[in-house]
Structure 1
Amino acid sequence: MHYKWIASQAELPAISEKLKQSASHALDTEFIKIDTLYPKLGVLQINVDEQVYLVDGNLDLSILWQAIFEAKQNIFHACGEDVDLIYHYAQQKPLTNIFDTQVAMAYLGYGMQIGYQPAVETILNIQVEKDQTRSDWLARPLTQEQAQYAANDVLYLQQLADHLIDDLKDKNLYKYVLEDCQNYCQSLAQNYSPEDAYLDMANFRHSSKQLTQLKQLMTWREELALRENKPRSYILKNGTIQKILERHPKTLHQLASQYEIRSSVLREHGKHILSLINDLPDQSTWLKRLPRPCRYQLKETSVAIEQLLQNVSQELSVPMDILVRKKWMTQLQVFATQDQSNLDQLNPYLLGWRLECVTKPILALIAQDMEAQPQSV
């Protein structure tokens, strides 16, 4: 195993220039995010020009973050947490130059969330150890096992990407993968105000009262998480919030005995949580219910949509679960009941390459269904 440990600020400019000049390079991060909202970087791994660097996260990496944004192509596997970390440390977003090998594997039919270890073994026939996942990456010095583990995570990543890119280009899918990677990084870059945090959980089944309670609870949780740098789930889990909306607890005893809430959170914030769900503003100011997805009038409609997706899947050699996810279909069913003049309201994934072959045909089938007479019972 050949890698270079970088613990000197003076070594960063040369690595930065390599990142800017390379056609592509492999990246990964090791961090700790157990009891904080924001990750604490331990190691930034880089494989560029066939040299693996393990960069100490204690350094000021501003020059490397900027190089990553300016690079021709950054290769990751399952980039979500890495990109979130980069946005946090770089204080810049979005990245538009990511190739994610996990996304590529999904397009090629290997499953939606295949890990790095099975991906390398499947494509390259190389076994990689994954026994240091829960290591303390902030400890210094790193053990030899930690360093080898961190280096392995980028050692084969460029080679993996090269194989996948060749396969994608053979099937004319490479540009689709790049587009999905860009959309994903854009979604991670969206800035939501604490007042909009409730939209992540809100759905048409919530009553006006529940939506108002949900907004008050999640606005408070978001503000507290940001202020104290605590994980949202550490304060209140989403499942706990949903139970609160359904059961309407009135007392601290009920909160303590019927819900999974940390004792420290109960002590400090229990009374406030009760006030957020029980002391509501005037009913005239409650949030309106979210629109309900349309219900098909004809049994044939869902069959026609399924057949459409099968045809597109076969024609483009794209797996069915890549074409349209369940939440996108729900959005289309809501969008079909409203003014459709502004397609930009749709999820970006439904635009781009999917617009003509998937999005518009599905909307047309739903519109045709909505014009039909309801079936007699």
Structure 2
Amino acid sequence: MFEYLTEQSQLGELYTQMAHTDTYALDTEFIKTNTLWPYLGLLQINVNEKIYLLDGQSLDLTDLWLLVFNARQNIFHACGEDLDLIHHYANQKPLDNIFDTQVGLSFLGFGLQLGYQQALQQILGIHVDKGETRSDWLARPLRPEQLQYAANDVIHLSALAKQIQSDLNQRGLLDAAIEDCVNYAREVATDTELSQIYLDVATFRHNRRQLVQLQQLCVWREQIARATNQPRSFILKNSTLLDLVDQQPTSMFQFGKIKDMKPNVIREHGKTILDLIRFLPDESLWPMRIHRAYRQKDTDLIDQINAFTAQISVETQVPVDVLLRKKWLSTLFSHIAKNGNEADLPNHLLGWRYEVLTRPILELLHQQKEIIAVEMAPID
């Protein structure tokens, strides 16, 4: 059923097989509980329906990453965490020559997050056991049940992708789905600039002083997390960051009032945290206030957009939730409020969606530009 490779000398046969095809189906098993970066336990790969399980603890996979990056297509299901791991171990990104069966299924009306087990059941009528989901993939030796579970994740993946791609092609949606896969892969590979990480925490309610404090705290937390390979929340949770800029502590004694401030963090970094809150750059360098979310009391505009999107869904056979995500619509409102550049919109909105969906919605929003700008203006 599969070959479990633990010795470097065993990789030659696999690489020979990979050299004779240009499409692979892959999955990974890893542990990422107490670290920022994942630790690879197993890499599973289906090459021409031959299954290999590669021991991530004992093998140097440098040559394999080269083959994967140069493939015509790599098949995954729900690839986000797999891509993060591959980028880390290969020290290269983006891996965007992919087809994600979960994305393909979303175009066929199965929702945005259909699991692999359910996908196999509904598309191919195949049942696979998922009993080892919470296994320790770094423990050795791996049990036979763990190995079989891991193999199951790629045994049928190529057949699943083939059926999904066939169904998409019949509907004329294959190119659009592949484009979305590529855009998603590039999104996963895009690192937020250090100076912009605070935007994942800050809200429109924060004044500029609080924003620059959050900016400094977030940059520092990210640097510590990377240097020590700790999850960000092990240093300061987002809720702790928010409480720090709300409470404005001026002494380490006052840390006792801050949510989830860990004693070891106070002991090791308390003075630094106080300095980051107290010592700020020139006010001209502080971030600008954040625009509010669109909250128009009269929902006519939203109703018009929803009705238009539903119409396009019927015409294109693309489900509404695939056509336009809520976060993309929020981005379009923000784009209008800030007089943004269309080139800065998410790639998902600039590809096949642009002419059929994005441009018409932007034209509709431009008609309400002044109202939107007022509704979303930062609080004074």
TM-based fold match above 0.5:
yes
Alpha-carbon shift at residue 367 of structure 1 (Å): 0.8
2:32 matched to which residue of 1? 33
The farther-off stretch of 280-289 and 361-370 is: 280-289
1:15 matched to which residue of 2? 14
Work out whether 1:87 is the aligned partner of 2:75. Answer: no
SS at match of 1:27: strand
How far apart, CA to CA, are the structure 2 residues paired with 1:358 and 1:17?
45
How far apart, CA to CA, are the structure 2 residues paired with 1:271 and 1:109?
53
SS at match of 2:337: coil
Distance 1:250 1:126, change over 3 A: farther
Identity over aligned residues, as a percent? Answer: 47
How far apart, CA to CA, are the structure 2 residues paired with 1:294 and 1:131?
44
Residue 29 of structure 2 contacts residue 41 of structure 2 at CA under 8 Å; is this kept in 1? Answer: yes
Alpha-carbon shift at residue 8 of structure 1 (Å): 2.1
1:240 matched to which residue of 2? 240
- Cα deviation per residue 1:101-139 (whole Å; 9 max; x = unaligned)? 111122222121122122222222222222222222122
How far apart, CA to CA, are the structure 2 residues paired with 1:152 and 1:256?
50
2:50 matched to which residue of 1? 51
Work out whether 1:369 is the aligned partner of 2:368. Answer: yes
Q: Output the amino acid matched with 1:25.
A: Y
Q: Output the amino acid matched with 1:128.
A: V
Q: Output the amino acid matched with 1:280.
A: L
Distance 1:92 1:251, change over 3 A: same
- Cα deviation per residue 1:166-217 (whole Å; 9 max; x = unaligned)? 1111211111111111111111222344333223334444321221011011
Alignment of structure 1 residues 1-377 onto 2, 5 Å: 2-57=1-56, 58-292=58-292, 299-339=299-339, 342-370=341-369
How far apart, CA to CA, are the structure 1 residues paired with 2:371 and 2:292?
19
SS at match of 1:246: helix
Gaps of at least 5 residues in structure 2 are: 374-380
How far apart, CA to CA, are the structure 2 residues paired with 1:338 and 1:282?
24
Residue 21 of structure 1 contacts residue 71 of structure 1 at CA under 8 Å; is this kept in 2? Answer: no
The farther-off stretch of 246-255 and 130-139 is: 246-255
Task: Report the count of equivalent residues.
Answer: 373
Q: Output the amino acid matched with 1:6.
A: L
Residue 43 of structure 2 contacts residue 53 of structure 2 at CA under 8 Å; is this kept in 1? Answer: yes
Distance 1:257 1:371, change over 3 A: closer
How far apart, CA to CA, are the structure 2 residues paired with 1:219 and 1:331?
24
- Cα deviation per residue 1:7-53 (whole Å; 9 max; x = unaligned)? 22223243234334325321001111111111111111011111110
How far apart, CA to CA, are the structure 1 residues paired with 2:63 and 2:199?
36
Gaps of at least 5 residues in structure 1 are: none
The farther-off stretch of 116-125 and 11-20 is: 11-20
How far apart, CA to CA, are the structure 2 residues paired with 1:19 and 1:206?
53
How far apart, CA to CA, are the structure 2 residues paired with 1:55 and 1:155?
14
Distance 1:69 1:286, change over 3 A: same
Alpha-carbon shift at residue 94 of structure 1 (Å): 1.0
Alpha-carbon shift at residue 311 of structure 1 (Å): 0.6
Residue 94 of structure 1 contacts residue 185 of structure 1 at CA under 8 Å; is this kept in 2? Answer: yes
Residue 107 of structure 1 contacts residue 318 of structure 1 at CA under 8 Å; is this kept in 2? Answer: yes
- Cα deviation per residue 1:241-262 (whole Å; 9 max; x = unaligned)? 2333334344545534541233
Q: TM-score, normalised by structure 2?
A: 0.90
Residue 20 of structure 1 contacts residue 68 of structure 1 at CA under 8 Å; is this kept in 2? Answer: no
How far apart, CA to CA, are the structure 2 residues paired with 1:203 and 1:355?
29
Cα RMSD after superposing both structures: 2.4
Alpha-carbon shift at residue 336 of structure 1 (Å): 1.5
The farther-off stretch of 79-88 and 206-215 is: 206-215
